[in-house]
């Protein structure tokens, strides 16, 4: 088992990529804190426990610093440490620049960017005290090349890449690896509302000829959270089937 007895916090773990990651990490021996603002997270934790793993669901709004701090304290109280943080929570509110509302700008920036800051800042002191830890942030391929109608989303994910590189420098000397993944178009609830015509265009543009699955991204999270990635720091790993080459 690649994560035997490690304690992992996974945000946005109630569905999609986060759910797949929580289940995979448990299979690899991790004790999992399933964190999400939606109640489906309890079902994920239940599934892990039914399969013989250890998990707890902590309902958390990553934009709320007090909730985040209570979540971190609850994880430490239950499991005693935090070895892995997967900053996976995210939202979409697409619109072209001239039609993008301030409300939708604020929501996406608050969840996708400030949320990553909130959770990492709350977790980092524990990892520093331990002298080790793995932090993996979710960015996006659109942060690398931009995308029509995604001003807020692209800005948030480009910001995540910037945070990743800063923290890799600041926390690396403390024994903490900080990396990011940049998924391409993945078949999840988040992309379910994208018109099929657009998804077909993305399939055609992807050299592997398909959209990604939550498992594809979960496998990347697992690699960067494992000892196999101990000398990888500040990297952005594209998981996009070759969409950006």
What residues are annotated to the active site?
153
- How many angstroms separate the Cα of 231 from the Cα of each of 85, 89, 172? 17, 25, 10
| β-sheet bridge partners, residue 234 | none
Beta-carbon contacts of residue 236 (< 8 Å; ≥ 6 apart): 139, 144, 161, 164, 179, 180, 181, 182
CA-CA distance, 78 to 163, in Å (whole number)?
29
Cβ burial, residue 3 (10 Å; 0-12/13-18/19+): buried
CA-CA distance, 19 to 15, in Å (whole number)?
5
Residue with the two structure tokens 């299979």:
27
**Residue 109: CA atoms inside 13 Å, Cβ hemisphere, count?**
11
Are the beta carbons of 159 and 185 closer than 8 angstroms? Answer: no
CA-CA distance, 166 to 158, in Å (whole number)?
13
Tokens linked to 211:
């959209």
């Amino acid at each position: 088992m690649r994560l035997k007895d490690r304690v992992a916090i996974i945000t946005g773990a109630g569905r999609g990529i986060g759910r797949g990651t929580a289940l995979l990490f448990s299979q690899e021996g991790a004790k999992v804190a399933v964190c999400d603002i939606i109640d489906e997270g309890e079902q994920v934790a239940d599934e892990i426990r039914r399969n013989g793993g250890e998990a707890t669901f902590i309902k958390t709004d990553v934009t709320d610093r007090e909730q985040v701090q209570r979540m971190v304290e609850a994880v430490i109280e239950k499991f005693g440490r935090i070895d892995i943080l997967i900053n996976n929570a995210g939202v979409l509110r697409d619109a072209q620049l001239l039609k993008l509302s301030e409300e939708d700008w604020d929501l996406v920036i608050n969840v996708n960017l400030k949320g990553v800051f909130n959770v990492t800042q709350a977790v980092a002191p524990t990892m520093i005290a331990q002298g080790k830890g793995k932090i993996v942030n979710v960015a996006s391929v659109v942060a690398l090349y931009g995308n029509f109608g995604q001003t807020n989303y692209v800005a948030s994910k480009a910001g995540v890449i910037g945070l990743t590189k800063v923290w890799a420098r600041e926390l690396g000397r403390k024994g903490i690896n900080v990396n990011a993944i940049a998924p391409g178009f993945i078949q999840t609830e988040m992309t379910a509302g994208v018109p099929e015509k657009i998804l077909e265009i993305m399939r055609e543009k992807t050299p592997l000829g398909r959209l990604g699955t939550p498992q594809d991204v979960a496998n990347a999270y697992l690699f960067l959270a494992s000892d196999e990635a101990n000398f990888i720091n500040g990297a952005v790993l594209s998981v996009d089937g070759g969409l950006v080459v």
